[in-house]
Structure 1
């Protein structure tokens, strides 16, 4: 059964901002797909690779996800092995879910993960993250 990761998208203001960052050459792996490089290798890698996604927290709210394609070893100038989480291009909007700040990444079960937003709503203009957070906190979203 698949498990997911949840990660803060630090410095990102919106889903569009995250997408723009991922188009940057620095955010891509050698294959051209976006990747997130982290110091820790997930102990539950097999479950992640069985259909898991990384859920992105933007401005205190889980707003989107990306399916995880594979995990690559990455070595930089310091020669320390790191985990490159290679992601499928494109961000899938999810039902907004408030999330307090945390460091690194965490596992997220399918039962606790927010559902995808209906693709028919994908063309709607997204609410500002602050408003989304406020509405989520009072149970409107």
Structure 2
């Protein structure tokens, strides 16, 4: 089972805003100073995007490429898949996410309804109410 990563979608205000970044692209490359230690396990997994303290979408990780300046590119498919929103604290850089903790994909035509804001969902989850 491949390993997944989570990352803040810096500057994106919503899922639609993030989806707009994908339009017309063949692949997405994220530059990072350090390659994940477990990078080989991540190829074939997904990078889950966090917006407003919630995981909202994912893209499949196709590889890791070293740049000329010694940094690393995380190469993603240029296809964004909406997932069932899941509360997730903000963090810097990327973090690992195992498959059993990852949110499921939203099926085509499925109505996701009104999603709770990420911070509120986290507070309710801590109280055992969701």
TM tier, shorter chain? 0.7 to 0.9
| Shift of residue 59, structure 1, vs aligned partner | 1.1
Q: 1:120: how far off? A: 2.2
Alignment match, 2:7: 7
| Corresponding position of 2:39 | 45
Give 5+ residue unaligned stretches, structure 2.
none
Tell me whether 1:133 sits opposite 2:126 in the alignment.
Answer: no
- Residue 67 (structure 1) aligned with residue 60 (structure 2): yes
Report the Cα offset of residue 110 of structure 1. 0.6
Q: Tell me, what secondary structure is at the counterpart of 1:71?
A: strand
Cα distance in 2 for residues equivalent to 1:127 and 1:71 = 36
Give the one of 74, 87, 102 matched to 1:113: 102
Per-residue CA shift, 1:29-87, capped at 9, x if unaligned? xxx411111111111121111x2000000111100000001111123xxx3x1111111
Q: 1:120 to 1:23 in 2, by over 3 A?
A: closer
With normalisation by structure 1, the TM-score equals 0.77
The CA deviation at 1:20 is 2.2
RMSD (CA atoms):
2.4
1:84 maps to 73
Q: Could you state the TM-score of these two structures normalised by the residue count of structure 2?
A: 0.83
